[in-house]
Structure 1
Amino acid sequence: MKFTATILSLVAAVTVVSAAGQLVPADRANPDIVEGAYIIEYQDGIDHNKANNFLNSRKVQYKVRGQFSTFNGASIQVKSAHTGEDLAKIPGVKRVWPVEVFTLPPQPKKNQLGLPTDPIRQKLSSAHTMTGVDYIQKTFKYTGKGVKVGIVDSGIDYTHPALGGCFGRGCRVRYGWDFVGEDYDTTGVAKGDSDPRDQCNGHGTHVAGIIGGDARKVNAPIPFVGVAPEVTFGAYRIFSCKGKGATDIIMQGMELAFNQGMDIINMSLGGGSAWRNNPLALLAEKLHDLGMTTIAAAGNDGDQGAWMVSNAGLGATTTSVASFDNVGGNYFYLTYAGGAEHPYSIASAYGHDSVNLPANVPLVPLLEKDGSLSDGCAPEPYAAANAKGKVVLVLGDITRCRSGGRGAVAVAAGAAGMVIQTTPLGLSSIAGVADFPMVSVDHGAGEEILAAYNKNHNAVLTWSTKKKMFKVEGGGSPSDFSSWGFDGNLHLKPDIAAPGGNILSTYPVNMGSYAIESGTSMATPYVVGAHALLYNAHKRVLRGKDARQIFMNTAHPGHYAGNHSDPAPVAKQGAGLINVRNALLTASVFSPDKIELLDSVHFTGKSVEVRVKNVGKKTVEYTLSHEFAESGIHYRGGNTFPLAVPLIENDHASVKFSSSKITVKAGQTAKVKVQITLPKTGKNEEFPFYSGWVVATPKGKDAIPVRIPYSGVKGDISKLPIQDTDAGAPMLRLIRGGKTVVPEPGHKLDFTEETPVIVSRIGSHTPDLTFRLVDAKTGAHVGHIVTQYGNFGGEFGRAKNLDDKGRISALTIRWMGPQIFKDSNPDTKPIDVPAGHYKVVVASQHQLTKGVFPADYEVIEVADITI
């Protein structure tokens, strides 16, 4: 068994092996932990009293933070010197996790709206035309009435007229609890009460409005309506005013939602690159098994590349939701030469909501020698254009550099700002560099600005001070911020997508009442509302995973903006954009809900059985077909860390059916064998993510096709690079006299004068990350080094490209003296290292392997030392 301690370095998760319990890593996207706080899961048959007796018998001094019932365990604050490793050894303990601190994205105190006044732009404010919700609401009058929805978030401003205006019996917001209190941000101590009102953050109120707000009769700027405007809400406030919460607080909110009878809970939260074995995902699955549907955000790490889907939705029965951009959006804008208004997306590192440059700052396009627009990645075009003190127009091609790279070059050249023309289409989210105004505009805007400049080099560039609604290039396509899958075992996540980019909803009354926001946090409640409509329509016939299957069957695969003949990869969008109309009208169920092909080694090449069930009243003939998706290339050119933005290509699998047509009587099920063959194109060493859909189309007018997404990775995943050797990781450094020293080969370690530190940077999931000593002559394993967290090993997700402060993410571990563990069992005591010549190695187990050392590990030498 394995367990983990947590590192408060640049990222937060290490794992340590235990013969008893399992202490699981803190999530990499949320590195803060509550010092000395742990979540303990008990063995079956162990209750709280027995567990407390076991803890007391080991002289553990602690305070109970919370007790769980559905999840058999508790969270405690340890006051004695006991570590998580110590807790995991106690009889009756199954697993132990450190308590993490989760943080919501910053919410504006006053959300500025540039709301439309004309009918065309008003229509853009609603995403319901994209999903068929408008048809269902108008035709069938389904409203979600009678369905209870729990929102585990920052609370709900129940005083909002679009959310009912009150709290308690007879109100829309009927249930709930505040688990954090008003002083959590300053004290870190949760002191909740019975009032779950959101009046200082806004996130939960925005989520609630998407699910079931109704602003049609309350004098709102736009009379919008949520997906299911008559659901009953439960508000479980687990985030503070600054958006902070902790794992155990979130779990308490989830359990109370279940205990108060919620049919569905919304989890617009989580962190990226985790394994399925995390407390939020495990509790979500337990709640599903007891009848409550859990739907969670896939995450907003789309600019990080592969393996970044968020932890809360990783459970096999939980729905993980990706985002599509709304067809319209709310943006600040610019004009040039008195021309059209062009919306822009501002660089996240700039630190301001909008650009505030004076109109007398000139604009100049950067051109290559052939006259084409430059990408701004090299200094020569800046010099040629005399760009100092000017705003430069560049092409957003990312083959040579990204926004941070071109921003650094622009700053060095003295440019005043940068406008990036998106290629091929759409508005791109850009990171940029701190304190430098950079924006992206859509491709057509770039063309118009360049044409206007060629007519008049002295034209004026102006920046708006307010927002407006715009129909944008790329609307209706997968959001670039939406996280990529897969998980660590190549399970397909996310499951489905919904509108999440530029979504109008409610906001706390004292913060402006209405806001337009973006994120998978906005897509998730859309799917929750869709489930409420389905439950309303089918009463209790469909629930949980069965409902998810209907939505995945009837989702519509989306394309990237621009000239893309095939839909976007399944690892980006799941089954596709939810279509509520089709889900409620379909008379077909296509099983399974997804086909996971893993990698080329584990892909058997044998046929897969799919089943078509006719739940209608008439016999139906189905035609079986195959729909390709584009492939995502994350490892082009031998890079050891996944590309931040994958290359999109067309590596297609081929599919054959045992029968291309089947006839199914009402109430009956037919089985078909599907033979999937690996793509002929695409290099194994680049590990392309290939995918597509198996489609069953009923015969007849207005027939609704049903689809099963499939996905896999071409190549041997055991050869996927884990450590980012391109960045110099892993490495061993010596801290001596406050300075960092590179050890020479054969260096004799002196632990009285120096501290060895191993630096690691993980580019993909590894089931077991270990730091070892091997014999320098034979290469035989000698032992595991003793770290500040004891023995080291276990599941580990990948690092982000950069941490929240813009630094390269890395993991640092100290070797605590000349001692080792002979094996991976921390119940054994460490021993002194015998004098000799050794190699220090970092050994990272490859995914989908058995864990035999060294055959199943990426083994990298970081030092040659003597002791």
Structure 2
Amino acid sequence: MKINTILSALAAATLVSAGKFHELSTPETTRVVSGGYIVEYHDGIGHNNAHNTLKAKNVDFKIRKQYGIFNGAAISVHSSHSGKDLASMPGVKNVWPITLHSLPKTSKGGKNPTGSVASSLHAMTGVDIVHEKLKLTGKGIKVGVLDSGIDYKHPAFAAKGATEGCFGRWGKNCRVRYGWDFVGDAYDGSSTPEPDSDPMDCEGHGTHVAGIIGANASNIKTESRPPQPFVGVAPEVTLGSYRIFGCDGQSGDDVIMSAMEMAFTDGMDIINMSLGDGSAFKSNPQAVLGDKLVAHGMALIAAAGNDGSQGIWMVSDTGLGDLSSSVASVDNIYASYYTFTYAGVTHPYGSSQAWAVPISLPSSTTLMVILEKDGSLSDGCDPEIYNGINVKGKIVLALGDITRCKSSGRGAFAKKAGAAGMLIQTLPYGIGGLVGNADFPMGSIENRAGLDLLKAYKKNPKSTFTWSKKPSTVRIEGGGAPSDFSSLGLDGELRSKPDISAPGGNILSTYPLAKNGYFVQSGTSMATPYVAGAHALYMQAKGTKAHGDEIRKVFKNTATITKNHGSKTSASVAKQGGGLINVFNALKTTSSISPDHIDLLDTKNLRKTVKITIKNSGKKAETYTLSHIPADALNSYPNKNSFPLNTPLIEADYATVSFSQTKVKIPAGKSAKITLRFKEPKTGSAAHFPIYSGFVIATPMSKGSVPVQVPYTGLKGDVSKVPIMDTDLGFPALKLSNSTADINDIPSEDFVFDMEENNPVILTRVGSHTPNLTIRVFDAKKKFVGFMVNYNTERAIGESGRQTDIDEEGNLSHLKWYWTGRVVPAADAISSVRLPSGTYNIVVASQRKLTKGNYPADYEVFDLGKVRF
């Protein structure tokens, strides 16, 4: 049968989709629930009507979860119907595969933790003043924690006068009053959930998060006391524990969305979601539901992600909603660490996780510096570095470059050479986390400490060490600056995310009692609950449960603009959002600016003129002076590279802002509109697509008044020309499925695939968002015959977020599409067809950002050549 006949017959039987099926942006089968879908109905369509429609179309399905605020359900499909089939059915608005999400990877301390000093932590944000002078504690406000559960028995969650916490609305003054276990201990994302009423935490992440929100470990007298007293942001808040993770593994969208809706039903004022996976568009189901909940009067606070080492376009998906808050991290200024003294100077250090106790070596121990041939400090990754060097009984100093080996490897080499221990100088700054070796003392030291040790060693190699027996409070290198791990924006539509920053680096908080009770962790997972607690203080102070986006505006207006470590200029808005949250300023201010961010887009779509509204809520007239503070520009494509740099170059590419008036007097209770006119930076090459940003400031003239601000972002150049595929490394590419080579391993164009044991595999590596990643198939006459269907029925059509540079195992990140000869003839087709044997051309085409999607003009197109089968 001719292919045209097949396609004509298929087209005749194909229904045009009534709804939209959202293809996976990263279609690895390990990240989805097989046959699982989130289905959203059109407004006015009820569950019964929708389910009857599915049954009428012979869909064999089972309800996994049913939602209310989100008008839809999660289902398991047992028939051959695909997500595209479901989207085609009457009444269906959107369909998503159920994806699996992991708890974010955080940097952890040891079993005997030392951590942030509560007073200094809260001094960064004005929370100390809010506690001491305003006496606000979050009392009467409910915060739902969607996480791994909470160890509610922890004494830091005990009510006043009690020595142990409790759970349940019927318990005596239980702080953790609401909640549910949606999954059970054994749930890992692929197994069947076993829900029950007890959300006890066996993993630890949720307890740490809850402690930042509302723990009170200031006066614990039992053996469960912390290494130092501390309190959470809102120490009298009422908590809800909605357990969505087991003791290990992942959790599905269906479970997470059920927890979001239960938190709403239970009357939570705020939802904390310290989770999220990779970059994406705002059309993901969690973000969609999140915006609906905020519109109903809640606040949704989500982590921006911990992919700061991956470069731009990496802000996490959960907080991408228009109304939710995406939270970046700032490192804590002070922390409590054990110290050592060398050559008369004292330095803090962090023991490796495997060693997990303070280092204690003889006072006669000396230092040995290992150097490369060029005289630079060695990373210790080559065992031959110790040849001819006597390190027996000495402490080895090594460089903390992790590109060649991890801490356990270099520790093993040093131990084998006879060293007594090892200190690793952190790059670029701060005290890093080390895994290390259980039988070998290793410590991470600050970059400046490494320089001091090297200088002192050269002056007197016989200097010795002394080690402290107790921790001390020290100022941390890089404290107060944006955390190196915190993910950078923007999103795929050049929207300004993250929204706000909070302390998230080196945070001491509660941990399950079975796991020693307290722990130091770093991550945007820690910054997020800080903002959730801040919302609770604000709600208590104002006596109102304002929508989360309204409170977000106040916090962004009054935040403290931060600088990168060692810099004199403001950090990019793509890194810090509106700045470091300042709760006291937010409560004190009588001024505001709307909107709370300005997206200038790119050169081609530049919003040259923008109107802002300044409101004076005070009791007297106020005169405001308008000004502009530029921020760092991020250059991620300096060499016209196709994949963004892991560490963008910081440039002084500053926009120019002019005002319709530089001073404005606004009567009490009134507003004024100001017109801003933006000009792109004169410096910076449009071919490098620098992301520029800054802040527009309105400063009241009255003494003691709080200035308010709005951040802006823009991209110089045409964003539609930003590379999508990583062509520098040979992507996209075609290979043999049974080949071990990754790139271009087809013997010749005459090679014939058997499509059983040897299939064509298309490799893609996406360096920036695309609204539509497609793999198109053309026949020998160059006529389009369909979109490729992956072996697991995933279609090569749909939006895609940016991929990381490397995966968690250190391998190059890329996607593999295995083709079995099946295609769908159109994007809205509901069935695929197996093409007859012949010769076909494979074309990878990715829609460019901010385009209408006309093919091929609006696509980045790559012809991978002929495939015969």
State the match for 1:256 in structure 2: 262
Q: How many residues align?
A: 831
Question: What is the letter of the counterpart of residue 532 of structure 2?
Answer: V
Q: Distance in 2 between matches of 1:378 and 1:195?
A: 47
State the match for 2:79 in structure 1: 80
Question: What is the letter of the counterpart of residue 179 of structure 1?
Answer: F
State the match for 1:138 in structure 2: 132
Q: Distance in 2 between matches of 1:361 and 1:759?
A: 52
In 2, are the aligned partners of 1:595 and 1:709 still within 8 Å (CA)? yes
In 1, are the aligned partners of 2:189 and 2:249 still within 8 Å (CA)? no
| 1:124 to partner: Cα distance | 5.9
In 1, are the aligned partners of 2:658 and 2:678 still within 8 Å (CA)? yes
Tell me if 1:787 matches 2:790: yes
State the match for 2:147 in structure 1: 153
Q: Distance in 2 between matches of 1:109 and 1:570?
A: 27
Tell me if 1:305 matches 2:300: no
In 2, are the aligned partners of 1:731 and 1:863 still within 8 Å (CA)? no
Q: Distance in 1 between matches of 2:629 and 2:387?
A: 48
Compared with structure 1, are the counterparts of its residues 652 and 439 closer, same or farther at alpha carbon in structure 2 (3 Å cutoff)?
farther
State the match for 1:95 in structure 2: 94
Compared with structure 1, are the counterparts of its residues 775 and 336 closer, same or farther at alpha carbon in structure 2 (3 Å cutoff)?
farther
Compared with structure 1, are the counterparts of its residues 840 and 465 closer, same or farther at alpha carbon in structure 2 (3 Å cutoff)?
farther
State the match for 1:697 in structure 2: 699
Tell me if 1:491 matches 2:495: yes
Question: What is the letter of the counterpart of residue 299 of structure 1?
Answer: G
2:298 to 271, 292, 316: 292
State the match for 1:627 in structure 2: 629
| 1:77 to partner: Cα distance | 2.4
Q: Distance in 1 between matches of 2:778 and 2:693?
A: 41
Compared with structure 1, are the counterparts of its residues 129 and 358 closer, same or farther at alpha carbon in structure 2 (3 Å cutoff)?
closer
State the match for 1:654 in structure 2: 656
State the match for 1:197 in structure 2: 200
Q: Describe how 1:425-824 pairs up with structure 2 within 5 A.
A: 425-427=429-431, 441-457=445-461, 470-540=474-544, 542-562=546-566, 564-605=567-608, 607-735=609-737, 742-752=745-755, 754-774=758-778, 781-788=784-791, 789=793, 791-817=795-821, 819-824=822-827
Question: What is the letter of the counterpart of residue 512 of structure 2?
Answer: P
In 1, are the aligned partners of 2:654 and 2:681 still within 8 Å (CA)? yes
| 1:736 to partner: Cα distance | 5.2
State the match for 2:179 in structure 1: 176
Q: Distance in 2 between matches of 1:242 and 1:225?
A: 28
| 1:211 to partner: Cα distance | 1.3
Tell me if 1:862 matches 2:864: yes
State the match for 2:33 in structure 1: 34
Q: Distance in 2 between matches of 1:497 and 1:735?
A: 45
| 1:577 to partner: Cα distance | 0.1
Q: Distance in 2 between matches of 1:457 and 1:860?
A: 60
Question: What is the letter of the counterpart of residue 651 of structure 2?
Answer: E
State the match for 2:47 in structure 1: 48
Question: What is the letter of the counterpart of residue 667 of structure 1?
Answer: G
Q: Distance in 1 between matches of 2:668 and 2:37?
A: 53
| 1:436 to partner: Cα distance | 12
Compared with structure 1, are the counterparts of its residues 616 and 823 closer, same or farther at alpha carbon in structure 2 (3 Å cutoff)?
same
2:271 to 265, 275, 297: 265
Compared with structure 1, are the counterparts of its residues 141 and 315 closer, same or farther at alpha carbon in structure 2 (3 Å cutoff)?
same
**Greater Cα shift, 25-34 or 712-721:** 25-34
Compared with structure 1, are the counterparts of its residues 139 and 413 closer, same or farther at alpha carbon in structure 2 (3 Å cutoff)?
closer
| 1:625 to partner: Cα distance | 0.2
Q: Distance in 1 between matches of 2:718 and 2:358?
A: 47
Question: What is the letter of the counterpart of residue 485 of structure 2?
Answer: F
| 1:575 to partner: Cα distance | 0.2
| 1:486 to partner: Cα distance | 1.0
Q: Distance in 2 between matches of 1:549 and 1:127?
A: 23
| 1:595 to partner: Cα distance | 0.3
| 1:414 to partner: Cα distance | 6.4
SS across alignment from 2:156: helix
Tell me if 1:276 matches 2:282: yes
Q: Distance in 1 between matches of 2:80 and 2:391?
A: 59
| 1:514 to partner: Cα distance | 2.4
Q: Distance in 2 between matches of 1:568 and 1:739?
A: 41
In 1, are the aligned partners of 2:26 and 2:815 still within 8 Å (CA)? no
| 1:388 to partner: Cα distance | 9.8
In 2, are the aligned partners of 1:376 and 1:409 still within 8 Å (CA)? no
State the match for 1:323 in structure 2: 329
Compared with structure 1, are the counterparts of its residues 799 and 358 closer, same or farther at alpha carbon in structure 2 (3 Å cutoff)?
farther
Question: What is the letter of the counterpart of residue 696 of structure 2?
Answer: V
Percent same amino acid at aligned positions? 48
Superposed CA RMSD: 3.7
State the match for 1:68 in structure 2: 67
Q: Distance in 2 between matches of 1:509 and 1:406?
A: 34
State the match for 2:368 in structure 1: 363
Compared with structure 1, are the counterparts of its residues 462 and 299 closer, same or farther at alpha carbon in structure 2 (3 Å cutoff)?
farther
Q: Distance in 1 between matches of 2:383 and 2:140?
A: 65
**Greater Cα shift, 841-850 or 215-224:** 215-224
SS across alignment from 2:330: strand
**Greater Cα shift, 527-536 or 734-743:** 734-743
Question: What is the letter of the counterpart of residue 144 of structure 1?
Answer: G
**Greater Cα shift, 122-131 or 34-43:** 122-131
SS across alignment from 1:630: strand
In 2, are the aligned partners of 1:269 and 1:521 still within 8 Å (CA)? yes
SS across alignment from 1:287: helix
Question: What is the letter of the counterpart of residue 53 of structure 2?
Answer: F
| 1:689 to partner: Cα distance | 1.3
SS across alignment from 2:554: helix
| 1:637 to partner: Cα distance | 1.3
In 2, are the aligned partners of 1:366 and 1:385 still within 8 Å (CA)? no
TM-score with structure 2 setting the length: 0.87
Question: What is the letter of the counterpart of residue 525 of structure 2?
Answer: S
| 1:824 to partner: Cα distance | 2.4
In 2, are the aligned partners of 1:343 and 1:470 still within 8 Å (CA)? no
Question: What is the letter of the counterpart of residue 369 of structure 2?
Answer: V
State the match for 2:3 in structure 1: none
Compared with structure 1, are the counterparts of its residues 848 and 351 closer, same or farther at alpha carbon in structure 2 (3 Å cutoff)?
farther
SS across alignment from 1:245: strand
State the match for 1:223 in structure 2: 229
Unaligned runs of 5+ in 2: 1-13, 159-164, 416-420
Deviations 1:641-682 (A, max 9, x none): 121122222211111111111111101111111111111111
Question: What is the letter of the counterpart of residue 728 of structure 2?
Answer: D
State the match for 2:57 in structure 1: 58
SS across alignment from 1:403: coil
**Greater Cα shift, 316-325 or 467-476:** 467-476
**Greater Cα shift, 702-711 or 433-442:** 433-442
SS across alignment from 1:140: coil
1:162 to 123, 145, 156: 156
Compared with structure 1, are the counterparts of its residues 655 and 776 closer, same or farther at alpha carbon in structure 2 (3 Å cutoff)?
farther
Deviations 1:758-790 (A, max 9, x none): 11111111111111234678x664532343226
In 2, are the aligned partners of 1:365 and 1:385 still within 8 Å (CA)? no
Question: What is the letter of the counterpart of residue 19 of structure 1?
Answer: S
Unaligned runs of 5+ in 1: 1-15, 117-121, 397-401
SS across alignment from 1:799: coil
State the match for 2:10 in structure 1: none
Deviations 1:125-170 (A, max 9, x none): 6511000011111111122222111111122222222213222233
